[in-house]
Structures are given as structure tokens and as C-alpha cells.
A and B are shown apart, each in its own frame.
Chain A
Amino acid sequence: MRDSSRGSGESPRPEAGRSLSQDEVNRVLRRCGFFAATPESALIALAGLTEQLRVAGGETLFEKGDVGTAMYFVLDGTIRVHQGDVVIGRLEAGEVFGEVAALSGEARSASITAERDTWLLKLEQEAIYSTLKLQPEAARSLIEALCARERQIIDEKFDRIVAGRVLEREMEIGQRIQQNFLPEAMPQVDGWSLDGVLKPARMVAGDFFDFFFVPAVGRFGIVIGDVCDKGVGAALFMTLFRSLLRSGALHRFPAGSRGVSDDPAVLLHQALTSTNDYIAATHAASSMFASVFFGLLDPETGELVYINAGHEPPVVATAAGVRARLETTGPVIGLFEGLAYRVESISVLPGEALFGYTDGATDARNESGQQFSEDRLLSDFCRGVGEGGKVVEDLLTSVEDFIGGTDQFDDITMICVRREMSAGTG
């Protein structure tokens, strides 16, 4: 839309109520590449067919999709080329717009709004074509100017494609790196089966889950979390939350030093509160937080000590139904230092399973806007536990089928920690 051959030289100065003289209009047309080769006599005839108009700041001249038969020259002021709220460009004195629709009779490809009081010269399609009919040699500069515009558009498109590919490659690298922050293979624990799935809504995710052995207390760490927001920002914080929680649980101070405990509840509390305090103190300006369920499981006895920091309550369930909901025991982490978190405990009995999920699963919507819902997720989970097999993989497939062709708007994560019937009861 922007004229590639922006005119040089002084633009006519606007004075309230003033009109351009015939000579001035001739000069405006001549400076525009479209009419560079138009013979003088034809240009004078064309100038006589122009109309000068003033558009008040904020006024929209035409909308994308409107049928238009005129092209315009900006004499003074600023014109915004846009589609809704997206601004494609701004045009000032000496620039031309609307020529494609004017020459082809097609709908306007963008909307045009004056940013301030603007003075325009308008030329109708009919005037252009009648001039071309009388003076066919005038077509040459018109075609040349259109070709130059086309070349510019192709160049810009090519640049955008290249920039888009570079960004896409960067995102793929980010995606691969982020994958390394999730368990590569599910840990093998005698008498238990551990499983987790994560499906990002975009290329990278703000959800996370983790399984890792904590030798200091002989327990398995079980984590599921959801960083607020989505996309790259959430993904960066996901790696931070996940790493600090894991490091907080695994880090051993030298023997005899204060601040570390062999008591799993104390260790868990330290790992979580130190993560909260660090992020709240260091990254306050980002206002990013995560809901986290963090438990330490004794594989011998089935005892699970846990903190639920603002996360959807995981459940302990069998095929017969949900036996316990592990409600929140403290606020989400990452915003304010020194918040209080209570450690709770529950025993996972032989045949029972701990099921954790993020709200991307329950809030997933189908084409009619209905939510998958917590009720359906939990009842499908209980049925899956009864049937055996890969419960969370099957559940993810169910949620995906439910979403169908609509957009998945949030990351979906689910974990299942299941105690086999034959395991020792401790």
C-alpha cells in the first residue's frame, strides 16, 4: 500500500480552507511514480478530475473489505493503515494509498484512519481509465510503479518468512531443552508404577511434573505444577520452579551442619519454602507464580508427606472411587516471602493410586464450549484404574478427543502413582 517511490521535494502546506492550485495538483501527480510518464496534457486533464478532501483526526476513511474505486495522495497529515487494532503502517505527505482497489475494483485490503487532521487528494478509477484510453503511453509508468510495489511486497514477505523460520527454529530448540526438564523415563520402583503425561498448548509449556529419588530420606519425590500464564515466559519460570524444588530436596549440606534434616516432612518444607522465598525475592518484578503439589513417598510403607501449594487437589483413588482429596495446605509459590505451608501426610494403600492433574485437563473445552470437568476426569480415572494399563495416556487421549478440532488453550498434565496389590503393606 505504501508508495515505493515516495515523492521528493516540498509538500504543499495546508492552510485552513485553502485548495491546491491546478499547478500544485499537477506537481503532486507528477512526483508520484504512477504518473511519471503521463504526457503533460493528460496529466493536466487528470489533475482537473481530482478532488481535495480533509479528514478529521480519528476519522476512518474506509474499512477493510469496503468496495472502493478511488486512490488517494497524502498532502498533509498522517494516515494509519490497519486491520482492527493491528497497525500495518503509517503514511505521511507524499505517499499514496488505495491504488490496488482503485485499479482493480476489488475490496479494500486494509482500513484507513486519519491519525490527525489530514489533507488528501482523491482520484477516481474512472478518471484514470479514461486518461489511459486517450493516452495509452501513460500506462507504462503506471505498470512500472505497480511492479515496483509488487516487488517491495514480495521482498517484505520473504523477509517475514525468513524471520519466522529463524524464530521457529529457536522455539524448537527451546522445546527440546524444555523436554530435558521432564523425566526422560519413568523411574522403576518396586511395587509401584509411576506415569506422567504433558501436552503443551503451545510449543513450550508452563506445566511440569517430576519424579526423582531423594537418597537422604529414602523416598521418591513426586511433583506436579502449573506456572501462571502460557508460552515462553511461563516456560522459563517452569524450568526455574522445577529445578529449585528438585535441588532443594536433593541438596545435602555437610554432615553436622544446620538446616538439613533426615525427616522427610522437614526436608519437604525446606525445599518448598526456600523455592518460594527465592523466587519471591529475586523475581518479584515478573509477578509469576506456580501452583505446586510436592510429595515425598516412602515406597516401603506407602506413606506420602506432601504440601499442596494452591494446586488442584490430587486424589487417592481406586476403581471404586475417590478415597481422599489432598486439599491445599498453603498458597501458590513465587510471589511473597515467608508464607506458611503445612505438611500433611496420607498412606497410599495397596491397589490405590495417587492422581494429580492441572486445570488444562478439567477446563478443556469442546466445540460447543463445554468443559471436560473435574467430575468426568475423576470418574474416567477411577474407571481406568480398574481396567489397568496406561491410565494417564488413555485419559489424555480422551481429553484430546473431547477437544476435537478446537484450540487447546492450556497445557494439560497428569500424573499417576499407583501401588500394586502385591506390594508390602509396611
Chain B
Amino acid sequence: MSNPLRIAVSEEKGAVPVTVLYLTGDLDSKTYTDLEAKAGEAIAKGSNQLLLELSGVSFMGSAGLRAMHSISNKLKSAGGGKLKIACPSDAVSRIMKTLGFDQMFDIHGSFDEAVKSF
């Protein structure tokens, strides 16, 4: 029933280097630990400005929020940093609105603006 989650990582040069995680598939209770692990690897390599590009995510459950909170914790333990979100689909925006993401994370409709905002 659920689609696997694929995660591609690349670097963007904004005002500061930003590590972008491009997510495709479903971000749910089966896949959220993959996101935690991938972001954990980036943080371990020294990235502290992370952007999640969500345009390829067709479904996000509450487990997505758990993963993002856990990534925020990892950034905090690694000495601080920022986690931002770019380009959520309408379906993902709806769940983010219900859960109240706007108070927890910086969300951008435009990818370029998101990179510039770091």
C-alpha cells in the first residue's frame, strides 16, 4: 500500500553551503527512519544547514513530523544548525497545516527562496 521512500542528497551554494535532501515516495511509519538515517549521515559529515525538498512526496503521515523533530534534535546535539522545508505538495501542506508545522519549521514554496533563506 505504501510507496518506498528514495532520498537523493546534493549540496547547494547559498550564502552558506546547504545540504539538500530530495525526497520521493511516501514518508510514513515504514520509511521515516530512512530519512532520519540519511540526515544523520549528513550531520555526521559536518552539514548543519539542511533542506528537505518534498515535491516528490505524495503522502506524509505523522511519522514525518517525528523524523523532522529527531533531525532537529541531532542538529542541536551537533552544536546547532537549521532544518527547513521546501516545495511540499498540496496534500503534504494540508497535513502540515493540521499538525501545526508553521510554528515548528521554516517552510518555503520556492526552492530558490528556501536555499537563499539560510
Contact = CB atoms under 8 A, between A and B. Distances in A.
A288 B62 CA distance: 10
Nearest to A227: B62
A310 B63 contact: no
A344 to B, nearest CB: 15
Interface in B53-104: 62-63, 65-67, 69-70, 73, 97-104
Task: Select the residue from B97, B98, B104 with max chain A CB neighbours within 10 A.
Answer: B98
Interface size class of B (residues with CB under 8 A): 10 to 19
Given A229-B63, A310-B98, A328-B98, A285 B103 contact: no
Contacts of A289: 62, 65-66, 69
B63 A332 contact: no
B59 to A, nearest CB: 12
Interface string B1-34: 1000000000000000000000000000100000
Task: Select the residue from B62, B65, B101 with max chain A CB neighbours within 10 A.
Answer: B62
A198 B7 CA distance: 37
B103 A331 contact: yes
B99 A339 contact: no
Interface string A35-70: 000000000000000000000000000000000000
A287 B66 contact: yes
Interface of B: 1, 29, 62-63, 65-67, 69-70, 73, 97-104
Interface residues of A, number: 20
Interface string A279-292: 00000110111010
12 contacts: A228-B65, A285-B73, A287-B67, A287-B70, A289-B62, A289-B65, A291-B99, A312-B98, A328-B97, A328-B100, A332-B65, A336-B103
B34 to A, nearest CB: 15
A332 B61 CA distance: 13
A300 B105 CA distance: 41
Interface of A: 228-229, 284-285, 287-289, 291, 309-310, 312, 328, 330-332, 335-336, 339-340, 369
The 4 closest A-B pairs by CB, nearest first: A331-B100, A287-B69, A287-B66, A228-B62
A287 B72 CA distance: 10
B73 A287 contact: yes
B104 A335 contact: yes
Nearest to B95: A310
Contacts of B101: 331
